[in-house]
Each structure stands twice: as structure tokens, then as C-alpha cells.
Amino acid sequence: MFGLPFDTTLLVFGFPVFWILYTIGFLYVSRDWDKDSISGDDAS
């Protein structure tokens, strides 16, 4: 793509795509951490 070697294209476009997907996954998994921590404080 754009005359770049495949490895360079993979690094330039693949890493940001991976990071965006990783961030979305982290936000999805951690969306209820406030509620979990509040209920955990009540239990102790």
C-alpha cells in the first residue's frame, strides 16, 4: 500500500488498529468497575 513494504504497512496501520480495538475492549470490560468497587466496600 502506498509503495511501502508489507511489514511497514502492517506496523503503520496494524498497530493503531490493534490499539484502538484494545482500548475499546478495555473500556467495555471495565465499564462496571465503579459499581463493583462500591459493592465490594459494603461487603467488607
Share above pLDDT 90 across residues of the chain, in percent, rounded to a whole number:
43
The candidate with the shortest Cα–Cα distance to 19, out of 11, 29, 8, 9, is 11
Is the model more confident about 4 or about 18?
18
Written as one letter, the residue type at 7 is D
Is the model more confident about 43 or about 9?
9
Confidence (pTM): 0.61
Phi then psi for residue 43, to 5 deg, are -70, -25
Q: What pLDDT does residue 39 have?
A: 66
- 8-12, 26-30, 31-35, 40-44: segment of lowest average pLDDT: 40-44
